[in-house]
């Protein structure tokens, strides 16, 4: 079963079906009309031919001549062509001359038969006794070149119908395509972070306007729900930062007054946990800021390859001190439009993730490549990697893998990286580096 997956395919299928039906109907009407005319003409020349031939017992030559002469003088048969010939084909009587000898029975004749005033007609050739053959001819057109005129009538009539339908169909496709385009652009803008974007509502009203209003109401509801969910975590993080900062300050004061090493160790552990909570809340607020889309206003042209080289040079001492090695491959320029600070932070986070979750001796490879209108940043390592069934969890907020639950962290590193990539209309994919993990971030170049 054929499935129409696009408006263009559906339109072309409808247009093809309509053209086939219209052309088929035109040919059918034209053919049936010709057949009807030929049948009526055949019936008429049979009547005239029978009248001239007479009954089998009265087919004497003189009688045939007499009846033929009477038929040529009658008004009703004035447009009938008659020709009587003997066995050798010599004309004996009649009002027409033929350029060739026609076969017995019915046949179709045209202008090339040489009959004056005839452009198309039917002929009946029959034996009338005494070795004579009678040819009866009648026109199938009421006037000269009527068949050609009738063909033009069909072409103009059905052609105008085709043009009207095609024009209406084109108008329909353009109108529907424009409205679908408006909806698609709104969806793309919302995906890019512009949650205030809505489908334009045309003042003329109609079904499209009603659909746009319903779609916009749905977007308003979704926006309110998303804002509520986002504000919960952001508000909690924002409201708890101040008391946590005060708590940390108080712990620092208590640490100075601690009398034993055991007390100092406990207080320092509490301060470390406070710092971890403050870092987590800062990351939550950072993700909310990035997902808000306001940073896109600060986008500017930059070379991703140059930025990666600068960040890698800055992080190289940290990587070496941590017992890892790092290789960078950025051969060709990769111009993009983006926020230099956020992209730099994204790469720093990627490198820090590798340092946090891989053992000493791990090799880190960073590469930048361009393909068409896409710049690709890849960061791979030779560490333990992430199982395929847990990679979606790693990109989720507070997503902690089973192997990393005992490690320091709060599960917001990769979600922040994904938020930065999404802000730049990019995508992030976690792949198997065999061994290790490869993080591939594709960013549009325009």
- Which of 111, 131, 147 lies at the terminal end of a domain, its last residue? 147
Helix or strand holding residue 164 (H, E): helix 146-191
Q: Are residues 284 and 306 in the same domain?
A: no
Number of Cβ within a 10 Å radius of residue 262: 9
Are 295 and 194 spatial neighbours (Cβ–Cβ below 8 Å)? no
pLDDT of the residue at 145? 62
For the record, the structure tokens of 374 come out as 């896409």
226 and 302 in a single domain? The answer is no
- Range in 168-182, 216-230, 352-366 the model is least confident about: 216-230
What's the pLDDT at 441?
92
Beta bridge partners of 184: none
What was the pLDDT predicted at 58? 62
- Is 80 exceeded by the pLDDT of residue 53? yes
Tell whether omega for the bond before 435 is within 30 degrees of 0, i.e. cis: yes
Among 147, 180, 196, the domain-final residue is: 147
| pLDDT tens sequence across 375-431 | 999 999 998 888 888 877 777 655 555 544 445 545 566 887 888 888 888 888 998
Per-residue pLDDT, 1: 45
285 & 335 share domain: no
Q: Do 74 and 127 fall within a single domain?
A: yes
Regarding whether 419 and 303 lie in a shared domain, the answer is yes
- Does one domain contain both 252 and 383? no
Which pLDDT score is estimated for 143?
A: 60
282: pLDDT strictly greater than 80? no
Whether residues 26 and 60 share a domain: the answer is yes
pLDDT at 405: 42
Domain at 33, CATH number: 3.30.450
pLDDT(258) > 60: yes
Q: Are residues 309 and 272 in the same domain?
A: no
SS3 135: strand
Same domain assignment for residues 225 and 251: yes
More confident residue, 251 or 427: 427
Q: Is the pLDDT of residue 440 over 90?
A: yes
Instruction: Give the residue numbers spanning the domain of 366.
Output: 294-444
383: domain CATH number is 3.30.565.10
pLDDT for 412 equals 63
Asked which of 70-79, 230-239, 268-277, 362-371 is least confident by mean pLDDT, the reply is 230-239
Looking at the structure, do residues 361 and 430 belong to the same domain, yes or no? yes
Domain at 273, CATH number? 1.10.287.130
Number of structural domains (the chain) is 3
User: What confidence tens digit (pLDDT) does each residue in 126-165 have?
Assistant: 988 878 899 999 888 766 566 666 777 777 877 788 788 7
Residue 180 pLDDT greater than 90, yes or no: no
Are 259 and 368 part of one and the same domain? no
Residue reference for tokens 């306001």 = 294
191, β-bridge pairs: none
Same structural domain, 263 and 343: no
């Amino acid at each position: 079963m054929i499935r129409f997956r696009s408006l263009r395919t559906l339109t072309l299928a409808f247009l093809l079906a309509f053209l086939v039906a219209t052309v088929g109907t035109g040919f059918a009407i034209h053919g049936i009309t010709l057949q009807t005319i030929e049948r009526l003409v055949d019936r008429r020349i049979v009547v005239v031919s029978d009248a001239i031939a007479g009954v089998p017992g009265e087919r004497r030559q003189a009688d045939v001549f007499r009846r033929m002469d009477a038929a040529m003088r009658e008004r009703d048969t004035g447009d009938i062509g008659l020709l009587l010939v003997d066995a050798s084909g010599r004309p004996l009587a009649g009002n027409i001359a033929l350029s060739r000898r026609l076969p017995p029975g019915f046949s179709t004749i045209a202008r090339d038969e040489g009959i004056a005033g005839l452009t198309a007609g039917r002929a009946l050739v029959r034996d009338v006794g005494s070795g004579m053959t009678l040819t009866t001819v009648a026109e199938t057109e009421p006037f000269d070149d009527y068949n050609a005129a009738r063909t033009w009538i069909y072409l103009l009539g059905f052609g105008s119908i085709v043009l009207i339908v095609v024009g209406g169909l084109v108008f329909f496709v353009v109108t529907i395509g424009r409205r679908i385009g408006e909806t698609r652009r709104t969806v793309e803008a919302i995906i890019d972070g512009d949650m205030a974007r809505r489908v334009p509502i045309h003042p003329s009203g109609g079904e499209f306007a009603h659909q746009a209003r319903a779609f916009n109401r749905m977007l308003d509801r979704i926006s309110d729900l998303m804002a509520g969910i986002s504000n919960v975590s952001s508000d909690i993080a924002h409201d708890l930062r101040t008391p946590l900062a005060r708590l940390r300050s108080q712990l620092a004061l208590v640490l100075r007054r601690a009398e034993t090493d055991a007390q100092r160790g406990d207080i320092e552990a509490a301060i470390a946990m406070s710092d971890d909570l403050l870092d987590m809340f800062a990351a939550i607020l950072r993700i909310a800021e990035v997902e808000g889309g306001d940073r896109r206003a600060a986008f500017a042209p930059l070379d991703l390859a140059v930025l990666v080289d600068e960040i890698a040079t800055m992080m190289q001492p940290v990587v070496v001190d941590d017992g890892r090695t790092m290789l960078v491959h950025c051969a060709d320029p990769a111009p993009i439009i983006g926020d230099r600070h956020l992209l730099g932070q994204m790469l720093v986070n990627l490198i820090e993730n590798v340092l946090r979750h891989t053992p000493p001796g791990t090799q880190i490879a960073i590469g930048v490549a361009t393909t068409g209108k896409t710049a690709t940043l890849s960061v791979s390592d030779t560490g333990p990697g992430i199982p395929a069934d847990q990679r979606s969890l790693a990109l989720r907020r507070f997503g902690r893998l089973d192997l990393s639950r005992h490690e320091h962290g709060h599960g917001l590193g990769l979600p922040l990286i994904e938020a930065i990539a999404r802000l730049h209309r990019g995508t992030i994919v976690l792949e198997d580096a065999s061994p290790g993990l490869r993080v591939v971030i594709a960013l549009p170049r325009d």
